[in-house]
Structure 1
Amino acid sequence: MARDVQITFDCADPAALSAFWAEVMGYRLQDPPAGFDSWDQALEAMGVPPERRNDASALLGPNGSGPRLFFQRVPEGKRAKNRVHLDVRAAPGLEGDARMAALEAEAERLVSLGATRLERHEPAPPLGTGHLVMADPEGNEFCLD
């Protein structure tokens, strides 16, 4: 049986990191529960104190497509390289110089949003198409592929 998947990010600032990933992925903040105009209004009604209202955030893909991205506040910082990471498909169908130019353009956009560029891997045919390794504002590695 196929299952839905949610990708969870441990982080220090769920609101800021979800805003970054919304821009990267073209996702949107999950709507508040029915009957509420905002998350602040919903959390107030649930009795969540103001200092706990940035404990979590969730993003949904356009029209519900793609996995839900969930961001949860944790007390510890990132300690090591991710063993699982996202590959953001920024140049599907492109090859060679055109592919790398598209990846570079997307990297430049993401750096302006707070990402860090880590490495460039040149195309190495037949299997290596080239990619860029990046980190989000909290240091989580991901690839532009």
Structure 2
Amino acid sequence: MVTWQLTIDCTNPTRLAHFWAAALGYEIQPPPEGFATMNDYYRSLGVADDELDQVGDGTDRIFDPAGEGPKIWFQAVPDTKSGKNRLHLDLYPTNRDRDLPLAERTRIVDARVAELEALGATVWRRWPEDFEEKLDEQFYFVTMRDPEGNEFCVA
């Protein structure tokens, strides 16, 4: 078995860690035992203070409290997002239930979209209004952007 984590480059790790923790039902990873903050831990590893200035209080990691999903690390980088994601997350508040009537599916997705907007995400496109290609008529999804512009879908 291979263990892994998802690493997301960003300019504001603390903001994205809090956004994605709330979006996914994850929790902020506390600093290792013996350290008051993640930045204290990073200093013990030799990371310079000028590098830590980019990462706020050092909050940059989240985890699934149920232990089912991967750990996620938000890595501070100096450059902003410049193109379409090559990888994105799909969130399924409908649990991908194919038997769910379209009206109910739409209601559930739109409610989750509103919650994510309140956390700082924005709607980019909605199916089917903003798409040329055609999919199953029972399908409904919304493509959103997180606070740094990374695309993800809610279906």
Task: Bin the TM-score by the shorter chain.
Answer: 0.7 to 0.9
Cα drift, residue 72 of structure 1? 0.7
Structure with the bigger percentage of strand: 1
The question of 1:125 aligning with 2:136 is answered: yes
Contact 1:56 1:72 in 2 (8 A): no
Cα drift, residue 32 of structure 1? 1.2
Instruction: Give 2:151's aligned residue.
Output: 141
TM-score, L = length of structure 2? 0.80
1:21-77 Cα offsets, whole Å, 9 max, x none, are 011001111121122343244345555454433177111001322011110111111
The alignment of Structure 1 onto Structure 2 pairs a total of residues equal to 143
Cα drift, residue 3 of structure 1? 2.2
TM-score, L = length of structure 1? 0.85
Distance 2:153 2:47 in 1: 36
Distance 1:3 1:44 in 2: 29
Instruction: Report the more deviating stretch, 85-94 or 15-24.
Output: 85-94
Contact 1:85 1:141 in 2 (8 A): yes
Segments of structure 1 that go 5 or more residues without pairing to the other structure are none
The question of 1:100 aligning with 2:106 is answered: yes
The question of 1:58 aligning with 2:61 is answered: yes
Distance 1:47 1:79 in 2: 30
Instruction: Give 2:4's aligned residue.
Output: 5
Instruction: Give 2:131's aligned residue.
Output: none
CA RMSD across the alignment = 2.3
Q: Aligned in 2, Cα 1:39/1:83: closer, same or farther, shift over 3 Å?
A: closer
